[in-house]
Structure 1
Amino acid sequence: MAVQPIILTPDLDRAQAFYSQVLGAVEVLRYPAEGPVFFKTLKIGDGELGLVAQETDVSLPARIVLSIGVEDVDAVLPLVEAAGGRVRGPANDMPWGQRVAHVLDPDGNPVNLTQNI
């Protein structure tokens, strides 16, 4: 059994570029294979993230947070804004043994970048 989060986005290319530039996401599936794309699966490390092209109100508050483990949170943070996202604050060491930074993707979806320390 596996869980695949799927993000609805009004700009599939922009969302894919963000996750590729910041987290090294690689496209592993697109549907349909030819013509305008409706769905993509991106591979990020050992996990997968789905993107669906759909007009959606990105001003509504998100109800889910993606948490993505990275090797070095502080090295990834400068990539976020360069890729169209927003950094919500500096990375912090948490008492449970992770360094965490809170960012937003270009559609405003919250993403926690985490690093085991």
Structure 2
Amino acid sequence: MTIQPIINTPDLDRMLNFYTTLFGAVEKFRIPDGEPTFFIGLQVGDAELGLVIDRDAEAGTTGRVLLSFDVENVDALLDQVAELGGRVQGPPNDMPWGQRVAHVFDPDGNAVNLTQQVTPGGGEG
């Protein structure tokens, strides 16, 4: 069984730019192959992410989806979030279970966690 998170968005191009630029997602296919595109399938590391056009989707409505990305350096990505149309919720925190975590929102207001493995004392590991 495979689970693929799919984000409904009123703006496919904006969301495609956010996820390809910030996380290095690679576009694998579009449906249909020509215009107008309804669905974009992305590969992000070992995972898949789908973007589907929904002109009635309300950007900024929280709770529609939560995505968590393991990244090499949480702090290095935070400056790019706003440049790509997203929003940083607050500064990153070192958690007692050995992760550095920052909470951000993508351009449609979907919650995205940036997580980085660190040692429990806060140093990189």
TM-score of the superposition, structure 2-length normalised? 0.89
Name the structure 1 match of 2:13. Answer: 13
Query: Displacement, 1:64?
Result: 3.0
- The answer on 1:22 being equivalent to 2:22 is yes
Q: CA deviation at 1:63?
A: 3.8
Q: SS where residue 101 of structure 1 aligns?
A: strand
Q: Could you give the per-residue CA deviations for residues 14-71 of structure 1, whole angstroms, max 9, x where no partner exists?
A: 0000011111111001100112100011111111110000121224322431111101
In structure 1, the gaps of 5 or more residues are: none
Residue number in structure 2 paired with 1:75: 76
Deviates more, 1:60-69 or 1:38-47: 60-69
Q: Give the Cα separation in 2 of the matches to 1:59 and 1:19.
A: 17
Q: Percent identity?
A: 58
User: Does structure 1 retain, via aligned residues, the 8 Å contact 2:59–2:109?
Assistant: yes
Equivalent pairs, count:
117
- 1:53 maps to 53
Distance 1:44 1:3 in 2: 14
Structure 1 SS opposite 2:96: coil
Larger Rg: 2
* 2-structure distance, mates of 1:89, 1:102: 7
After TM superposition, where is structure 1 displaced by more than 6 Å over at least 4 residues in a row? none
- Distance between the aligned counterparts of 2:106 and 2:91, measured in 1? 16
Letter paired with 2:30:
R
Structure 2 match to 1:114: 115
Q: Taking structure 1 as the reference length, what is the TM-score of the superposition?
A: 0.95
Give distance in 2, aligned partners of 1:62 and 1:12: 19
Residue pair 2:68, 2:113 contacting (<8 A) in 1 also: yes
Q: Are 1:35 and 2:72 counterparts?
A: no
* Structure 2: stretches of 5+ with no match in the other structure: 119-125
